[in-house]
Amino acid sequence: MSLLANTLGSLGATFFAFLAAIGRVAIFAAQTLRHALTPPFYIKEFGQALLSVGYFSLPVVGLTTIFTGGALALQIYAGGARFNAEAVVPQIVAIGMVRELGPVLVGLMIAARVTSSIAAEIATMKVTEQIDALVTLSTHPMKYLTVPRVLAALLVVPLLVGIGDIIGIMGGYLVATKTLGFNEAAYLQNTADFLQASDIISSLIKGSVFGGIAAIMGCYYGMNSGRGAQGVGKATKSSVEAAAVLILAANFILTGIFFSA
């Protein structure tokens, strides 16, 4: 009986700790939104965040999506051959990349690259008391550090998703036309005919949500990191883990909202 009580108590404590963590993140996100709507605005920090989140993420996004699109074409062709349905490769590559793989892969790459960078940078600033110096200079840390990064991610990640979708489709196109014997014009026509505006819009919305999650997790764990090098490392690791899990959970919810019918 005591073992059962201890087990239930441990599970209950874990569950309430999980709820408390969700509450803290939600409050942090609400505070970020409030600060984003009121001046002052730090344009220089915003511009630097646009470059860091967007432009410098293009190589890893491009490489990830082009190889994924090519592998997807090979897998669909091999699977379709079992049912004499090889011709569906263009359509399935297009819908798979735009609806799911493009947004999710870009979101996870942003979590790996940008979330970790934001968390490590802000945590280091906290350890070296640079955040305290901002307060001394009458500069609100969230306005200066969090808001520019979150806004940049909300705006730029959808663009990265759109670019990743195109590159992924082109990866499938290259494999299908150069290796699997598909006609180039017919492949592109089938891709264009099959995709709908709702597929593209849902992909871009997912990108914005995933970008916001990645940036908020990096800022939250950076702001709440422990002291010392160990604290910086733990904040960086926890931010990436939380961002990746939340991105996958958000993808499930958004897919259900957009395509449940």
CB atoms within 10 A of CB 241: 14
Per DSSP, helices labelled H in the chain are 2-36, 43-53, 58-80, 89-95, 102-110, 116-127, 130-136, 141, 147-178, 184-194, 197-223, 228-259
**31 inside domain:** no
**222 inside domain:** yes
Q: What pTM was estimated for this model as a whole?
A: 0.91
Q: Which of 195, 192, 175 is nearest to 86 (CA)?
A: 175
**1 inside domain:** no
> What's the domain count of the chain?
1
**203 inside domain:** yes
Q: From first to last of its 261 residues, what are the pLDDT tens digits of the chain? A: 577 667 767 777 787 787 888 888 889 989 989 988 888 888 999 999 999 998 899 999 999 999 999 999 999 888 877 777 778 888 999 999 999 999 999 999 999 999 999 999 999 998 888 888 888 888 888 999 999 999 999 999 999 999 999 999 999 999 999 988 888 898 899 888 888 898 999 999 999 999 999 999 999 999 988 888 888 989 999 999 999 999 999 999 999 998 875
**21 inside domain:** no
State the Cα–Cα distance between residues 226 and 189, nearest whole angstrom: 55
Distances (CA, A) of 255 to 112, 202, 206: 22, 8, 9
Residue pair 180/78 in contact (Cβ under 8 Å)? The answer is no
**33 inside domain:** no
**178 inside domain:** yes
List the domain range (segments joined by +) for residue 231. 42-259
**16 inside domain:** no
